[in-house]
Amino acid sequence: MTLNRRDFIGATGAGLLWGAHSAASAQAADTLRIFVGFPAGTTPDTLARKVGDKLVQLGLVRAVVVENRTGAGGQLGVVALKGAATDGTQLLLTPMSMLGVYPFTYKKLPYDPVADVSPVTMGASFDYGIAVGTAVPESVKDIPGLMAWYKANPDKANIGSPATGSTLHFTGVTLGKAAGVELTHVGYRGSPPAIQDLIGGSLPALVSPLGSFLSYMVPGSKLRVLASSGAQRSRFTPQLPTLVEQGFKNLAFNEWYGFYAPARTPDEMVRRVNAALHQALKAPEVVETLHSAGMESAPGTPADLTAALQRDMKTWGPIVKSIGFTADS
């Protein structure tokens, strides 16, 4: 579906966002507010701002304000949406984990991951990469080789991720379990410090978004990426085999960012916002920005987003339980 500016302007000609029709709502409706539970400069913040800029350029909204509600591992972004207006002027952009993983890692959340949100569209998706650094001999060329090296060097059986309690954390530990190796997780605050330790030799291996490794995948690099995590090879690393290809047939993981409206937002409003976001997410400059970070633009229907969350909750719930991790401890 393609909507132009005329589709979003009320009969008064006031330039109201998403076709709002009351003069009383005109001033508020001129501005779209996107809640993001992470600081400025992070990937979800960058995506929200890029999409917001495009919506303005397309003439679908006069201004977009990205509100960074940081803290509690991204939970505050979801909390902000709970009390937001249901007229399509306030949205949430969140990674899947806040809705699909946190229910299993926290005993109590300040929101219901299903009842408190209305799915609008997926924004972007990305695979993970598993890389090794200078601590691991260059003779290790693949994941089975890495697992064999861990078994021969149990005192070095550590694997890092950019965040404790993340799907990246759980992917690393699950990979070890699948190979019969007890791995100790090392959590970092983001990918950059973890990559520096990887290169420096104090961390043997790291699970991180695939995009965080792309600039290091050059001849002579001290970092070697051994696998990607998707069901198929990534377009960004077609030469890199997946975990599935390397014998771990049940280990196919990825992450995504989704746009949500507050619960009880009317279906027609969700449809309008979905159509506008589709235009922004399909814009070449937005797609290019995502590709530079190793991400795919992934607009879809609200039903697609609901199905993705349901699928991932079924995937990560048992994994978190088997690991025994709790964020409350």
Q: Is residue 177 part of a domain?
A: yes
Helices (H), the chain: 26-29, 43-57, 75-82, 97-100, 102-105, 143-152, 167-178, 191-200, 267-282, 284-292, 302-323
Same domain membership, residue 114 and residue 152: no
Q: How many domains does the chain have?
A: 2
What does DSSP assign to residue 166? S
Residues 9, 115, single domain; the answer is yes
Q: List beta partners, residue 32.
A: 64
Residue 35 domain flag: yes
Whether 286 is covered by a domain: the verdict is yes
Judgement on whether residues 16 and 75 belong to the same structural domain of the protein: yes
Q: Identify the CATH number of the domain in which residue 196 sits.
A: 3.40.190.10
Same domain, 302 and 207: no
The confidence score (pLDDT) of residue 17 equals: 60
Question: Does one domain contain both 121 and 262?
Answer: yes
User: Long-range contact list for 231-237, CB < 8 A, 24+ apart?
Assistant: 234/127, 234/210, 234/294, 235/296, 236/210, 236/211, 236/291, 236/294, 237/129, 237/210
pLDDT digits (tens, 9 = 90+) for 122-168: 999 999 999 999 999 999 999 999 999 999 999 999 999 999 999 99
Instruction: State residue 19's pLDDT score.
Output: 54
Residue with tokens 């505050």: 76
Q: What is the pTM of this model?
A: 0.90
Residues 166 and 86 both lie in one domain: no
Q: Which domain holds residue 54?
A: 5-126+255-323
The predicted pLDDT at position 30 comes to 82
Answer yes or no: do 197 and 209 share one domain: yes
pLDDT confidence of residue 328:
81
The list of the chain residues with pLDDT below 50 reads 1-2, 4-16, 20-28
Query: Assign residue 198 a region: left if phi > 0, alpha if psi is -120 to 50, beta otherwise?
Result: alpha
With the C-alpha atoms ordered 80, 82, 88, 91, is the resulting torsion angle positive or negative?
positive
> In this structure, what CATH number is given to the domain that contains residue 121?
3.40.190.150
Looking at residue 329, what is its pLDDT? Answer: 60
